[in-house]
Amino acid sequence: MKTTTSHRRISARTPKTSRISGNGNGRAPAKRPALAISSGIASWLAGPKQNLIGGKWVPAASHKTFDVFNPAEASVIAQVADGDKEDISRAVVAARRAFESGPWHRLTTSERGKLIWRIGDLILQHADELAEIESLDNGKPRAVARAADVPLAADLFHYMAGWATKIEGNTIPISVPYAAGARFHAFTLREPVGVIGQIIPWNFPLLMAAWKLGPALAAGNCVVLKPAEQTPLSALRLGELIIEAGVPEGVVNIVTGFGETAGAALAAHPDVDKIAFTGSTEVGKIIVRAAAGNLKKVSLELGGKSPNIVFKDAGDLDAAIAGAANAIFFNHGQCCCAGSRLMVERDIFDEVVNGVAEQAKKIKLGPGLSPDTEMGPLVSEEQLSRVTKYMHQGKQEGACYVTGGTRAGNRGYFVQPTVVKDVKPGMSIVREEIFGPVVVAEPFTKPEELIPRANQTEYGLAAGVWTRDIAKAHRIAAELRAGTVWINCYNVFDAALPFGGYKQSGWGREMGHEALELYTQTKAVVVGL
């Protein structure tokens, strides 16, 4: 049958014509060497990129595909299946069959744990190629993907593998006031939820797949995973490794496609028991509404506008400045927990803000595959448009740009690392999630004004505190309304550490043993004796 290729669309939520503000004359990324894609990845990219359904790689039911771009070049690197409602339905049928009658639930928990462990091992064995795929597809420096994304993904599977044998219920002494003299043996079982739909974003494509799949599998569920349209490639390679690990067919299904078609169909599907979503708060609300049809369980990891607070008693100010720069510029600011509001005690405000700006100026922009690149492009033209629109708005609203503030170069989706001061609480760049390398800096003087301002956001994902006063650090951490507080550090993640949001930053916690709560349900069993 004929295959048609649909062009990647600009989301319905953004203007169709994505005008790039800024004149493109900003500090350009380093002169581009020809991209050194390894021959192995080049031939893998050239092969068909299909959906994984019921253990088989199959084209989209419509036989349509869509283009996947290298954001450093704005060039097409692959075509993947354009899955939609029909493909989601087929994947859900496969997952249901695997859950109800396949070999998955007959495996012992030890066997299940070993399979999950093997996925982690295979990720490590293929770490170089996964890092290259991630860098090409998302734009992040290959060295960063190799040092952070890939090992963290492997570690997540290894950590969750251990939990497969440790998901336990309780025995509960019961009294039953209306059954005088009767005796019972009561206990609880923690059982898998069933068929899980998982929708992930583009900022950490492999790692987000791991965060979702690891606990779902450890708890015995079957999954339909939909990667982001911008970055589907590492999830597809992971699917190949999952098959190689020996995970039975239908346990993990992967459907590539667009949010408004495949994603929406998954969120609304009547035979999906739970949906797990990471992405924008806006789409999170759409997911909640879609899930209402069959009241499927929902967990959400959403946006953030995280305060990073530097006190004058931070001690090693250089470390605090480097930490503040890392908090916003890591992953090009495309982090839900980015420290995008830098709050600095007034006495050291200029020193810290200028220090972060100096760090910003030194960051070497370039394609992710160049070995000396420190910051790659944003993920897509849509994201470039969004970030430069905010930069423009900030200027119009009267903010002062200490450094950056425009697109960098004319090719690819690069922007300058940007530091902004003289901001007011009502400005869009202060209130809204930009999801780019843009930090707004505000001074504070009194601690009593600090906390209400730090918490003055609809989000509550993360926060940073820099001080050597240990009592103050704990007091502030307790008062911040955020799911994670880093003290004298930032962006510290571990498979054992729960991550998630207060307020409109989400529902539930990923990673750690708390993630298992999302993927299990409790059954009470009572035996009359």
Quick one: three-class SS letters along 382-436?
HHHHHHHHHHHHHHHCCCEEEECCCEECCCCCCECCEEEECCCCCCHHHHCCCCC
HSE-up of residue 286 (Cα within 13 Å, Cβ side): 16
Out of 222, 335, 336, 337, the active site residue is 336
CA 477, CA 487: separation in Å to the nearest integer? 8
The answer to whether 419 touches 39, Cβ cutoff 8 Å, is: no
CA 495, CA 316: separation in Å to the nearest integer? 29
CA 233, CA 300: separation in Å to the nearest integer? 23
Does the annotation count 336 as an active-site position?
yes
One residue of 68, 247, 336, 378 binding ligand NDP per CB under 6 A: 336
510 binds ligand NDP (CB under 6 A): no
Sign of CA dihedral 50, 52, 57, 63: negative
DSSP string, 157-181: HHHHHHHTT-----EE----TTSTT
Selection from 270, 138, 103 nearest residue 195 by Cα: 270
Tokens of 68: 């996947």
One residue of 142, 386, 389, 407 binding ligand NDP per CB under 6 A: 386
Binding mask 1-40 for ligand NDP (x = CB under 6 A): ----------x-----------------------------
Give the residue with the Cβ less far from ligand NDP, 72 or 267: 267
Give the residue with the Cβ less far from ligand NDP, 286 or 399: 286
Give the residue with the Cβ less far from ligand NDP, 26 or 500: 500
**According to CB under 6 A, which residues from 114 to 153 bind ligand NDP?**
none
What is the DSSP-derived secondary structure letter of residue 10? P
Selection from 196, 206, 212, 192 nearest residue 278 by Cα: 212
CB of 488 to ligand NDP, least distance (A): 24
Length of the chain: 529
The answer to whether 313 touches 468, Cβ cutoff 8 Å, is: yes
500 binds ligand NDP (CB under 6 A): no
Tokens of 326: 């890392």
Does the annotation count 229 as an active-site position?
no
Selection from 320, 306, 322 nearest residue 348 by Cα: 320
Give the residue with the Cβ less far from ligand NDP, 61 or 68: 68
Out of 301, 381, 433, 442, the active site residue is 301
**According to CB under 6 A, which residues from 197 to 226 bind ligand NDP?**
199-203, 226
* From 29-37, 133-141, 227-235, 470-478, span contacting ligand NDP (CB under 6 A): 227-235
**According to CB under 6 A, which residues from 422 to 461 bind ligand NDP?**
433, 435
One residue of 214, 220, 250, 279 binding ligand NDP per CB under 6 A: 279
The answer to whether 271 touches 398, Cβ cutoff 8 Å, is: no
One residue of 155, 229, 249, 345 binding ligand NDP per CB under 6 A: 229
Q: Which H helix or E strand runs over 509?
A: none
Closest-approach residue to ligand NDP (CB): 259
CB of 49 to ligand NDP, least distance (A): 14
Size of the site for ligand NDP (CB under 6 A): 30
261 binds ligand NDP (CB under 6 A): no
259 binds ligand NDP (CB under 6 A): yes
**According to CB under 6 A, which residues from 293 to 332 bind ligand NDP?**
301-303
Interaction site with ligand NDP (CB under 6 A): 11, 199-203, 226, 228-230, 258-260, 263-264, 267, 278-280, 283, 286-287, 301-303, 336, 383, 386, 433, 435
- Active-site residues, by number, are 301, 336
